[in-house]
A and B are shown apart, each in its own frame.
Chain A
Amino acid sequence: MKGSLPTTIHPHQANLTEQVLAAAGAIILGKEHALRLALACLLARGHLLIEDLPGVGKTTLAHLLARLLGLQYSRIQFTSDLLPADVIGVSVYERDNERFRFHPGPVFSQLVLADEINRATPKAQSALLEAMEERQVTVDGETRPLPEPFFVIATQNPSYQIGTYPLPESQLDRFLMRIRLGYPPAAQEKILLAGEDRRAMVERQPAILTAADLARLQGLVCEVAATAPIIDYCLAILQFTRRSERFVHGLSPRAGVALLRASKAWALLAGRTYAIPEDVQAVVPACCIHRLVAGDAAGRLDHDEVAALILAAVPVP
């Protein structure tokens, strides 16, 4: 390869991400694709929404990612009586100092797990979602920045379950990706049942990335090349969703930015310095479908099916 330009990233970085994925795959079994998407989401500085039934490993996944990436971790269990202060924190009067002191809430963490976000009232939900968007919190007129990096992994029960407040579309748009875990394949589930407790394994798991590694990887995502054909392809997908009668509304420009960024992260995970159409295709189901309001025709389809439908209809330029 003398004289030609590098086509792959440095082996060290490639190794790092592969190590993360390998370690995660050893604990959460049979979910390689979901794990890869989750990692891509974090590398693209996006927030992740995991939508699935209770007990399939959503919390474990969030906790595990925090351990692997060496992030400070906190968990908020959303309930119907959760107040915004429970998320953000509260100012308490200290008699000794004769002044209010701010007690930061769980949101002041590098990785926040917002468990069962749709069980809380919209008021509590929006407290978190605003923090996600602004990456800062304003309490009592004082703006406090959130730590860097800052990730939210929210989990959500399928909205047909009792006692849920489904997130409005505008809020859903703030998650870079929505993924589903689903039940593990039978073989993996057998190992799961026979093996060690996953929680304990997560607790033992040492960090693989340092803060500096993570920052560098995030920087590399931005440097992944997306040439004109890739931009055109993303654009064609956006245009298609806007033109198609299957959807009430098409994808927003924010969705387009998200799609491109996620594609680049996916390309990086594949060890490339440039995105190819398959990168876009890989992230469309996770990046796009939760932002779309399906019309009648697509309403009954699973979101992978909707994604397949879009990808089959839009020619690769």
Chain B
Amino acid sequence: MAKPDLIDEPPRRDQTIAITVAVAAAYLPLARFMAWQVSAFLALVLVLRFAAARWPAATPGRLTLLTLTLAGGMNCLIANHTLVGKVGGTALLVTMLALKLLELRTRRDHRVVAIVLGLLIVVQFLFDRGLGLTLYLSAVAVSAVALLVDLNGGLGAAPWRRTLGITLRLALQAAPLTLVLFLLFPRLNAPLWSLGFERDTSTIGMSDHLEPGSISELVVNGELAFRARFTGPAPKPSELYWRGLVFWEVDDRRWFSGIGPRHKADPGLAQATDLIDYEVVLEPSQQRWLFALDLPVEHPTDTKLGAGFVLSANAPITTAKRYRARSALSYQTQAPSESERRYALRLPWNVTARMRSLVAEWSRDGATDWDLVQAGLKFFNREAFSYTLLPPPLGANPWDEFLFETRSGFCEHYAGSFAVLMRLAGVPARVVVGYLGGEPNRIGGYHMIWQSSAHAWVEVAIAGRGWVRVDPTSAVAPGRVDNRGASRLLGASAPLRFQIDTAGTMGQAIRQLRNLADSVDAAWQGWVLDFSSEQQNRLLEGLGLRAYGELALALIMMTSLALVMGLILLALLRQTQPQDPVTRSYALFCRRLARIGLTRAPGEGPADFTRRVAAARPDLAVAVRRILALYLRCRYMAKHTTADGERLAQGVRAFRPKAARQRQQ
């Protein structure tokens, strides 16, 4: 009635500062995705805001605000050339939210900012959904809610402990609702990019061609490519050739897929032994291709096995993809088809005379194809080839320059030029790119395959053996391998894995810590981010409602929401009961009677209730009268002993009435 309406109360200065800080904190992780102009504009507004908080006279007037608004809009347009879409829209949101900060006159304004702040937090998950960011943004969201609580509270500053307590209680109450929505809210099967988002993301990881430098870029990349979990014991690291793409075509400086020959099923592989089952969780790559251990024999139905045993998905991988596959570690493929042979013998136009003479040297004396392969490998081993992540730049003809002049390079140099040499010698060859090895994460029980494990190797077709894997990089003499190039290249910003000496105790500890962090991240990925319509369907199947599809999902969601809300309400109502032990005992007494159908009306006094219970259930009369006497004495007599309270509590605890029907039987 006389409760003061606080909406138009002037806010306190610390509230203004807190909300400003919260906006800045919420923007911080978004900055890396925004154009610098947007960040600069926000910074400008923040400076103005703090100035206005310090010197109220400096609060910008109407005209300044109008100018700033126009400038902010223009700024967004200039930075992104659009005001819609993921980046454009977010930039506009940030700009407008920032401008609202200059307009904080009433508590209402603060509340608006705190609520829009929630939108800013949600929008960020369009950009990044990592666990770290989620935790950080949760903290920001908690502060925003705490601010709202404070804004809705009295005029004085409430103790922060109480405000935080209310906030956490709200969060706790929201948790079951969140869970219901998470489990049951129908997932969009169409990826977000069909709504116009995501269009501007570039591909991540491996590229669709191989040229000197394309893999060494990856090798200094500290990101994870995928995780793999083997059903049985893991194979040796040297056997972990993760097959990605196969390149058939070569031009003057690069290898690429081209159209490639048609795929032909290989029935011989069905007899392969040494099979291994595993599950892969691929990080989003924006590309279609998937990675499978050499050589995939079984793959999920929603994937396709193409020429050269290349596994690919039906659509670009925009969210983490989980799939199971089976591979044969030792295998023999059938001989290449005629079209495969044709493709695998094409030469680049820039083959030089010294390349030809080199190969001609090996093919004397009627050498077999396999002899030629061995000769090629020997060549890399004997000559002064060195392995480095910092190869010298190559000129117009990289194949020739690498083989005869620079002689230092990386797997892409070796694989690319080796395949060219093999084709020159008449041995069908193709280049395979993928990842080699994997770092076991003992905490998570899976292998982590990093982008830096990207690798390229060669497959040659040998008569009677089919396609055979040859890794020319491994032919380089071990003494000439320089693995430290990358960390020199990157200096202090090198990914951790290049800086630590894994042999030392410290290195071991850091490695363990990283494994732990990655397994937490994998769990986040597996349990939260990957929860898709597939899992929902499995859930429905378990409930026997699969046939009803999304309608059932929506209905279950509504029902569960109503149920959860009802339970929370009930808990809240129950909470309003005082904590006095006598009242508590009596409340328990009433609950137990309510369970057998004797509910006390809110306006019914204890004696009347007892009389009614005794009349309805004469068998309980003695017990309820005894409890009534104790209760009346404890609650309504001016002086009573604590012994009475204990006797009441005992009496109520021992009072367990059975329903009437059971009694009659």
Contacts and interface: CB of A to CB of B under 8 A. Distances in A.
A278 B611 CA distance: 12
A277 interface: yes
B638 A274 contact: yes
A7 B638 contact: no
Contacts of A316: 602-606
Interface string B42-56: 000000000000000
A4 interface: yes
Contacts of B632: 274, 276
A315 B602 CA distance: 4
B28 interface: no
B504 to A, nearest CB: 70
Given A7-B633, A276-B632, A225 B605 contact: no
B635 interface: yes
B637 A225 contact: yes
Question: Most chain-A CB neighbours within 10 Å: which of B606, B637, B641?
Answer: B637
B641 A4 contact: yes
A314 B557 CA distance: 37
A157 to B, nearest CB: 33
B637 A5 contact: yes
Contacts of B603: 281, 311-316
Contacts of A4: 641
A274 B640 CA distance: 11
A39 to B, nearest CB: 20
Nearest to A282: B605
A225 B608 contact: no
Interface string A1-42: 000110100000000000000000000000000000000000
Contact of A277 (B605, B633, B639, B641): B605
B601 interface: yes
A231 to B, nearest CB: 11
A7 B602 contact: no
A51 B13 CA distance: 65
A266 to B, nearest CB: 12
B636 interface: yes
A120 interface: no
A278 B607 contact: yes
A229 interface: yes
A274 B639 CA distance: 10
Contacts of A229: 635-636
Interface in B590-632: 601-608, 632
Contacts of B601: 312
A101 to B, nearest CB: 51
Nearest to B578: A317
Contact of B606 (A5, A227, A277, A312): A277
A230 B636 CA distance: 7
A64 interface: no
Interface in A166-210: none
B636 A274 contact: yes
Contacts of B633: 7
A275 B635 CA distance: 10
B580 to A, nearest CB: 10
A273 B606 contact: no
B605 A278 contact: yes
A259 to B, nearest CB: 15
5 contacts: A7-B637, A225-B636, A229-B635, A276-B632, A311-B603
Given A225-B636, A225-B638, 7 more contacts: A276-B606, A277-B605, A281-B605, A312-B603, A314-B603, A315-B602, A316-B604
